[in-house]
Structure 1
Amino acid sequence: MADLDDLEYRHAAGKRLHLTAHQRRVDAATLGRLVLHLPGLLLSLGTVLIVGWLLELAWGMPFWLPALLWMASGALVFHRPTEDLYARHVLRFRYPLPHEHARLEPVWREVTGRAGVEGNRYRLWIDNREDLNAYAAAGHIVGVTRFALEHLSSAQLAAVLAHELGHHTGGHSWSTLIGHWYALPGRAACRAGRAVLARTTSGALRICCLVTAVLAVAFVITVLRPASVLLVGPPLLLLVLPYAMAALNRRAELRADRHAALLGFAPMLVEVLLAVEGGTTPEHLAHGSAMSTGPDARSSLSAHLLASHPDCATRLHHLRPYLASQR
């Protein structure tokens, strides 16, 4: 296990912490994600309203009641018992063992102390996977792999945790989960529609439908120009949406890197990133595959555009100014 002497603990228990006025915020990446989730939200809302209408016909239930309950269910993202169930049964995390907690807690206290964040608001979890990774999820979940806990130095572990804390304080974690949650009914409806279409139509008929749709789009653009934006816009939005969401995800990663760098962890974060790339850090780190650094140079353009994390060179480029200021 790494030595604890490589990190100065200036925020020991019993000392006063100066907490920031705003423990959370909604940064530009989070706001952009929420905007991009709106089409999925509207599709899901229509799906739930249709289900409510069917329930009203069958049992006399008010058609708006399922939609109201579904909209209110988003608050469960910040409900601690629900978060615990999500961490244990969906993410497959576990509570830290006593020696793991003794290793994690001082490092986490240092990170949250530097950030002016109340660390007790978050719960630390362990992922048993044998790779170098860490996670920020829901409203208060911070997870780290057992591999990272055992092989990273305390300073490097602090840099990784500071990065994950940046996702929480920037609103990235809760916005991602709540966006996926509210998109579930719409996704289920789309999958059901595709399954029905695949079973009830032949391959030739599906090709004819596709050709008809292309011709209809061409007709709208060339003849009905005023209406072309309204008719062609939504399909084009669906095509662009994954790329826009991936770009915002990459921006969120850079903002989380910046959060760690502003807390003084830029050199340690660079060490971890170089370890993932097989760089100059100790050999046993070079086999990890965490804090994903995006596709490599051999990946296709589509893979780069759809990557959720920036490549290592991009992240190092954005961290370089903080390296110079912290020397």
Structure 2
Amino acid sequence: MAIVGPVAVALHLRWPVWGAALPFLLWWTVALLPYRPRSKTSHREPDGKELARLADPWRHVLQRAALDPRDHRVLLTDRDRLNACATTGHGIVVTARSARTLPPRQLEAVLAHELGHRFTASFTRLTWPSRLLWWTLSALWTPVGPMWKRAVEWHRPIGFLLVFLLAALATAVTVIVVVPAALTHALHRAARPLTDRAEFRADDFAVRLGLGPDLLAAIEHRLEATPSDKPLPPRLLRRAERLRRRLA
């Protein structure tokens, strides 16, 4: 609201009524996109080998949860990530890499976790304006340091001029958005327990189905697969620590 509200007011002054409504319509449209009917280009049915690997884990999960297979189905996405999964109104969506590489019990645990999201759905995608804002600020400020080092190496006026212009642009944008940026950052930090809770509830769903140790193994496998030059995902670390305490 700190971001969308001022934008709506500014547009309302230019285009009454519709100017104010447009940002909110765009905001909610993006937030609700995951619940739209999916085309075959985004999600697909498993092929023969994938279906063979998914069949038993998926059937076991539905049996454990006492759910009718006719009301739920599993689809695949070709994103090249390990156990990143998603849920839609049409069922559970897992990556093809997960279906190909995860051991059956870990795959079963991941499916159970994602099935749990269907019963503990959250609207975390409503935060996309703040994520877009922070991405913009990061994209503006990140090149300044490397460009300054290169300008010093070149020792030419044009290099320092480019650094100055980029820094001036980044400063101007930061000054304009400093209030909503600071507010959304504070609210994001305050709401982190709530956003974590959706993941924790889905984890608890898998634990109640007797798949807690396998889910922990899948998360630890994901952490171990993180490249050494990248930081470990904080939310995965929190999930792993909580699962260890829960299972202890």
Compute the TM-score of the two structures, normalised by the length of structure 2. 0.62
Equivalent residue for 2:35, pick from 78, 88, 93: 78
Closer, same or farther: CA 257–202 of 1 in aligned 2, 3 Å: closer
2:116 aligned with 1:166, yes or no? yes
1:309 and 2:231 matched: no
State the alpha-carbon separation in 1 of the partners of residues 73 and 124 from structure 2. Answer: 17
Alignment check: 8 A CA contact 2:213 2:247 kept: no
Corresponding residue for 1:145? Answer: 95
- Name the structure 2 match of 1:241: 187
What do the CA deviations read for 1:8-33 (whole angstroms, capped 9, x no partner)?
xxxxxxxxxxxxxxxxxxxxxxxxxx
Distance 1:69 1:239, change over 3 A: closer
Match of 1:47 in 2: 7
Identity %: 27
Identify the structure with bigger relative contact order (alpha carbons < 8 Å, sequence gap 6+): 1
Stretch deviating more after TM superposition (157-166 or 143-152):
143-152
The verdict on how the C-alpha distance between 1:77 and 1:127 changes in structure 2, with shifts beyond 3 A counting, is: closer
Alpha-carbon offset, residue 312 of structure 1: 6.8
Quick check: 1:136–1:165 contact (8 Å CA) kept in 2? no
Using the alignment, how far apart are the partners of 1:124 and 1:242 within structure 2?
A: 32
RMSD between superposed Cα atoms in Å = 4.5
- The letter of the residue matching 1:310 is L
Q: Which residue of 2 aligns with 1:36?
A: none
The 5 Å alignment of 1:1-327 reads 39-40=1-2, 43-55=3-15, 62-63=18-19, 66=22, 69-70=25-26, 73=29, 75-80=32-37, 83-84=38-39, 88=42, 94-117=44-67, 120-121=71-72, 123-127=74-78, 129=80, 132-140=82-90, 142-172=92-122, 175-180=123-128, 183=129, 187=133, 237-276=183-222, 288-289=225-226, 307-311=234-238, 314-321=241-248
Which of these two proteins has the greater Rg computed from alpha carbons? 1
Alignment size in residue pairs: 215
Runs of 4+ in structure 1 over 6 Å off: 198-201
Does the 8 A contact of 2:216 with 2:240 survive in 1?
no
| Structure 1 partner of 2:150 | none
What TM-score results when the alignment is normalised by the length of structure 1?
0.49
C-alpha displacement at 1:158, in angstroms? 0.7
